Structure 1
Amino acid sequence: MTGSPTPRVAIITGAARGIGAGVARRLAADGLAVAVVDLDETACQVVVRQIEDAGGRALAVGADVSDEKSVEAAVERIAVELGDPAILVNNAGIIRDNLLFKMTAADWDAVMNVHLRGAFLMTRAVQSHMTRAGFGRIVNLSSTSALGNRGQANYAAAKAGVQGFTKTLAIELGAFGITANAIAPGFIETEMTAATAARMDVPFDDFKAAVAKDIPVARTGLPEDIAHAVSYFASEGAGFVSGQVLYVAGGPKA
């Protein structure tokens, strides 16, 4: 509308599907302009259309978060086409599960590069925009696997690293009006968890039912559950909350 303030810009990585897509739609509904970032720009278009059909503003951006030049080009494009980024959600992630003695160095490196190197490169690229504005919200996606999980030495180490990275960001950037927090989801219904069930040759509904038996709230999570938490951390009102890890897992985990 004419005369309305320019919306703040949010970047969500790994946003073509799953948790990232849910976060992108929620932040757009909150009134933010959203950069939907994923490895395949075409795959981002579905989420962009959903946001635009609901009256929001969004941009599809293809980028490899583990590649320095790709990240720098993506953030520069977002700043030009949408505006200076004020919110960053580091959600991009992959899994390469295996027991330690079967895990290859390539599988270790791939997971570390996307989760940890990706979060570092994206955060470094946006922080100058945030410090100039005197406002920023960084939300990093960790996992309950950070506490340890059989067959996920690489993923667990990466997600634990994300928590340490988050706390350090909070210390270094707090004086510039920037907060940094992490969300550690439990079991969330996504294409990734459905693929895990498929690899185990278990129907997804049966897989979810078995998991839910060990969750105090007696259900598995949805991308929207994580999106609600991101919405809070990204808000103006969360300015005195920084360096925290919020477990969104249906019950106590730590």
Structure 2
Amino acid sequence: MAFDTIRYETAEGVGVITLDRPERMNALNSAMRAEIARAVEEAPGHGARALVITGAGRAFCSGQDLSDAALGTGDLEQVLRDEYEPMLKAIAAAPLPVIAAVNGAAAGAGANLAICCDVVIAAESAVFVQAFTKIGLMPDAGGTWLLPRQVGFARAMGAMLFAEPVTARQAVDWGMIWEAVPDDVFAAHWQARARVLAEGPTLAHGALKAAVRAAMANDFESQLGVEARLQAHCGLTEDFREGVAAFLEKRKARFSGR
């Protein structure tokens, strides 16, 4: 896959999307949003069984590029609906786990891009900033839905109203992200984590992801139905047969993603 604002590569079943505008701290413009969405959607067809989004240089993503021509119309609703929504929905709907490997600052829409992913692994030096009120806006890019569900009402409101940096360690303590690791082992750590997922039962991972995301809006009875339907599909996979065989034979399962 060829891109202008991101880099994409696949190795050992891990697809890596690198936001590649380091001179702009990987700020999101129209082209980058479209390219992220396309890379996420096309990654499974290029052999990816797990996907990582990370940033080039010292930032993960500084949020919306305020010099982006798309803002010239003044119609922010159109930008959100036509450009942000497809990107965020692609991540949520991807049939494979998506890791945000947050290597540095994640601000504004960049912070919400990160927490939209299924798992967030951050370098200890990383910070998350709901920076929107600093420029007279309210949070968007899914942040008003995601953050209260992850950290609770009080912390979400404080983080959004005061727009103060939340350190990676704080983010772990709050339940915003999965883990924070020392900077010197960060790259090796997320790569190892991604390989674990890529070697796992890909269809079960996709079903798990779909079920958990559906649960955010379902009542208990509805969710039981979702579980039963998705588990029925998992029960027909080669990976389920391999998992049972490996358990009975007391060996490590060799999943194929089928």
Q: State the TM-score bracket (shorter-chain normalisation).
A: 0.3 to 0.5
Structure with bigger gyration radius: 2
**Whose RCO is larger (CA < 8 A, sep 6+)?**
1
- TM-score norm. by structure 1 comes to 0.33
- TM-score norm. by structure 2 comes to 0.32
